[in-house]
Amino acid sequence: MQLEVRDINKSFGEKQVLKDVAFSVPGGQALGLLGRNGAGKTTMIRIIMGVFDADGGSVLLDGKPIDRSRVKIGYLPEERGLYPKKIISRQLAYFGALKGMTSSETKEATEKLLGRLEMSEYLNKKLEVLSKGNQQKIQLAVALLNDPDILILDEPFSGLDPVNAMLLKDIVMEMIEKGKIVLFSSHQMNYVEEFCRDIAILNSGGIVCSGAIRDIKRSYNRLKIVLSSVEADKVEQYIRSGAMDIVTAAERAHDTVTVTLVSADNKMELLRRLSAQNLNLDRFDVYEPSLNDIFVEYTEDSI
């Protein structure tokens, strides 16, 4: 099973919200759909869900236009909320029925999910008596109720304490292992790196970076070198006086000096010069960019 978004365009009035957006997610994988607030992520998700029609482009499942009446989609929206004054079991029964489940299927799934989410005791309570985090878990239960083929999670970890975040992480990992397609939108890059092999970064409605996180990191410019030394002050001093022909910037924080090279080819030359100075180096590493660095680099132009 593979979800493919092909050249999606969408405008609201004069404003073009999505421009030729394309990505794909195979079954058993999670794609991180990233972007700053207002980048078009929710609109993209709503198009996949069929809430909005795209002005152009298509959403395909296994190469054919997606038939939402046949494929089961679970969605955890960024904006949390259900019916505060209604009993939880009744809300789940309602959503189960809307998703086409029989009452016995819904009952069975409800018991299983609430047990898994450690929420069984709240089955016959009103939603409003639950904490924010627990309300979020009920929403997750709604999203997972019909054992969806495609799971779309929009900021699922916001508002969760570390224990509940761990629980949610386990559940999402189980879904991935079960071969489900997971689309994951979050600003918490650590979670994205944990779940997702691939990412697609949206900026001003267009995809500015996509692919496997590992490949993106590898292709990231490798001009930064991290040096650790007990003589960090001397290292910095030397670089500023004797290596500025191959270095554009140097910053020191405690025992670490981060250096930006003019060219990646200058790496060995810098190491040679530092060795020649008999400076005591504990570490000489090419800086590994975090997903956060990549995200900021690709989206900061729209700040």
Partner 1 sequence: MKQFKQVLRFEFSNYAKSKPYIIITAILVLVIAVLLTYPRISALFKSGDGGVPQAGDERPIMALADMAYGSDEMLKKMTEAFPGNKVVTTGESIDQLKSKVVSGDYASAVVIEAPLKFTYITEAISIYANPTAPIMMILKEQYQLTKITELGLDAEEASDVIHPAVGMTVTETGKSQTQSFIYTYILIYALYMAIMLYGQFVASSVATEKSTRAMELLITSANPMSLMFGKIIGTGLAGLMQFGIIFGSAFLFYNLNVDLWAGNAVIQMIFNIPLDLLLYVLLFFIIGFFLYSFVYGALGSLASRTEDVGAAIMPVTFLAMFAFFAVFYGMNSGKLDSPLMVACSYIPFTSPMAMFTRIAMSNVAPYEIIISIAVAIASTVGIGMLSAAIYRIGILMYGKPPKLGVLIKTLRKQKANA
Q: Which is nearer to partner 1, 126 or 217 (CB)?
A: 126
- The residue among 255, 266, 253, 275 whose CA lies nearest residue 225 is 266
Q: What are phi and psi of 294, to 5 degrees?
A: -65, -45
Give the nearest distance from C-beta 69 to partner 1 in angstroms: 10
Rounded-to-integer distance, Cα 45 and Cα 109, Å: 25
The crossing angle, in degrees rounded to 10, of helices 132-144 and 162-177 is 10
φ, ψ of residue 273 in degrees (nearest 5): -65, -40
When the beta carbons of 102 and 275 are compared against partner 1, the nearer one is: 102
Nearer Cβ to partner 1 (97/249): 97
Q: State which residue, 142 or 172, has the beta carbon closest to partner 1.
A: 142
- Which residue's CB is nearer to partner 1, number 143 or number 227? 143
Contacts with partner 1 by CB under 8 A lie at 13, 46, 49-51, 53, 55, 73, 75, 77, 79-84, 94-95, 97-100, 139, 142-143
Phi, psi dihedrals of residue 58, rounded to the nearest 5°: -150, 160
Helix (H, G, I), strand (E, B) or coil at 112: helix
Report in angstroms how near the CB of residue 50 gets to partner 1 at its nearest.
Answer: 8
Quick one: 23 or 95, whose CB is closer to partner 1?
95
Distance CA 165, CA 143 (A): 16
Min. distance of Cβ 79 from partner 1 in angstroms? 4
Pull the structure tokens for residue 6: 């092909």
CB of 121 to partner 1, least distance (A): 23
- The DSSP element (H or E) to which 138 belongs, if any, is helix 132-144
b/e sequence 189-228, b meaning 16+ C-beta within 10 Å: bebbbebbbbbbbbbbbbbbbbeebeebbeebeebbbebe
